[in-house]
């Protein structure tokens, strides 16, 4: 099944009943799939909005009414959604945002890239807020992590982003859809219309500075809990590795192919793959740094995740970087040559 369609099917199976989006390559198959499928699901709503800005605010409205809601776009479109994502974080509204990254900056091109790491992991919009960021690396993970994204959004009442790229959205792979969990959802705040009892309202505008400060600290405490509980990663061939490649998403798949090739040649190289980009699995990377001090960060960008690797390692070890930005996707053979050069260096330094 094609990656973009996998996300749509997984979302529907886990109870998504509202989708709003706007066309942009390379994620168009996802809204197409939702347009066709939502009409066949009881209570399903699909809206092609007039803009990306409208789409994210429609998702916020559906979430406030208690629906599991989702939108999707690609890099420039996510930029337009940032005000709405910040608003959802402020109002503590759950929702899922899919970004199938493409080459940038600006309009860039429609090739796969990873230049939106900062945008996703640093909030992207204004104010002190975070979004949980999940980085799948296969069709199967697109299915699994989409379902998990809705559960995490409900549990913590916040936006969750699935950060993939154009290659992953277009690839076709076998997929097995897991059984979704029953929805556990605190509905105290949901706006269900007039009725008995105290009026309910949701607001992000808090004009009293002290009240706004306390709201920010409340959000910060929630983010601290998430950072402690929700990190995910994959460690591949790291037990006796003398060099660790750190990569995520499509870049990690390329790295794994290169590592298998080098392993056959007798080189001890491992892969550390963050699955949650926020919260970044810092403790787990620190544990690996106790066994080796040689790291290579590989990204389809000029280098963004490398900052989180440096922060996690706290100055321990040698961290080099190799990147291909703008939509250029290297082969495992190309990356294997880069890794081999670093592996053989006796005086390691930042290239």
* Domain boundaries 234-344, corresponding CATH code: 3.40.50.920
Average pLDDT over the chain reads 95
For 88-137, write each residue's pLDDT tens digit: 999 999 999 999 999 999 999 999 999 999 999 998 899 999 999 999 99
Angle at 163 between CA 140 and CA 88, to 5 degrees: 120
Per-residue pLDDT averaged across 28-42, rounded?
A: 97
Contacts of 244 (CB under 8 A, 6+ apart): 238, 269, 270, 271, 272, 288, 292, 294, 295, 296
**Is the per-residue pLDDT at 22 higher than 70?**
yes
If you average pLDDT over residues 252-257, what whole number do you get?
98
- Second CATH level (architecture) for the domain 3-229: 3-Layer(aba) Sandwich (3.40)
Q: Which pLDDT belongs to residue 97?
A: 98
Interval 8-13 mean pLDDT: 98
Determine which helix (DSSP H) or strand (DSSP E) holds 1, and give its type and residue range. Answer: none
DSSP3 helix / strand / coil % (the chain, rounded to 5) = 40, 20, 40
Residue 184 pLDDT level (bands cut at 50, 70, 90): confident
What would the pLDDT profile of 322-342 be if each residue is shown by its tens digit?
999 999 999 999 999 999 999
**pLDDT value at residue 83:** 96
pLDDT in tens, 36-63: 999 999 999 999 999 999 999 999 999 9
| pTM for the structure as a whole | 0.95
pLDDT tens-digit map of 195-214: 777 778 888 999 999 999 99
Domains 3-229 and 234-344 in one fold:
yes
Domain ranges, ordered by start, for the chain: 3-229, 234-344
Backbone angles phi, psi at 299, to 5 degrees: -140, 155
């Amino acid at each position: 099944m094609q990656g973009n369609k996998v996300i749509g099917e997984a979302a529907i199976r886990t109870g998504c009943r509202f989708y709003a989006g706007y066309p942009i390559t390379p994620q168009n198959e996802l809204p197409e799939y939702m347009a066709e499928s939502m009409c066949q699901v009881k209570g399903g709503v699909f809206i092609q909005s007039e803009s990306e800005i409208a789409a994210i605010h429609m998702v916020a409205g559906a979430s406030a009414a208690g629906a599991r809601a989702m939108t999707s776009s690609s890099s420039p479109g996510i930029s337009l959604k940032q005000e709405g994502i910040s608003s959802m974080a402020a109002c503590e509204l759950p929702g899922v945002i899919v970004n199938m990254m493409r080459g940038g900056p600006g309009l860039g091109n429609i090739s796969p890239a990873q230049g939106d790491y900062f945008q996703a992991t640093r909030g992207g919009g204004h104010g002190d807020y975070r979004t949980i960021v999940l980085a799948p690396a296969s069709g199967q993970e697109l299915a699994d992590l989409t379902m998990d994204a809705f559960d995490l959004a409900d549990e913590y009442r916040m936006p969750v982003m699935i950060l993939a790229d154009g290659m992953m959205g277009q690839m076709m792979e076998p997929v097995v859809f897991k059984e979704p969990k029953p929805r556990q959802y605190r509905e105290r705040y949901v706006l269900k219309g007039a009725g008995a009892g105290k009026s309910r309202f949701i607001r992000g505008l808090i004009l009293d500075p002290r009240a706004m400060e306390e709201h920010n600290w409340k959000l910060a405490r929630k983010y601290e809990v998430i950072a402690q509980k929700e990190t995910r990663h994959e460690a591949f061939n790291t037990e006796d590795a003398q060099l660790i490649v750190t990569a995520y998403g499509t870049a990690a798949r390329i790295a794994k192919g290169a590592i298998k090739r080098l392993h056959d040649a007798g080189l001890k190289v491992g892969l550390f793959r963050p699955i949650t980009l926020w919260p970044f699995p810092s403790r787990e990377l620190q544990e690996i740094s106790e066994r080796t001090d040689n790291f290579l960060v590989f990204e389809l960008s000029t280098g963004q995740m490398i900052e989180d690797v440096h922060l996690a390692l706290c100055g321990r070890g040698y961290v080099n970087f190799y990147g291909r930005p703008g939509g250029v996707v290297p082969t495992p053979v190309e990356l294997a040559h880069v890794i081999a050069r670093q592996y053989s260096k006796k005086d390691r330094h930042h290239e």
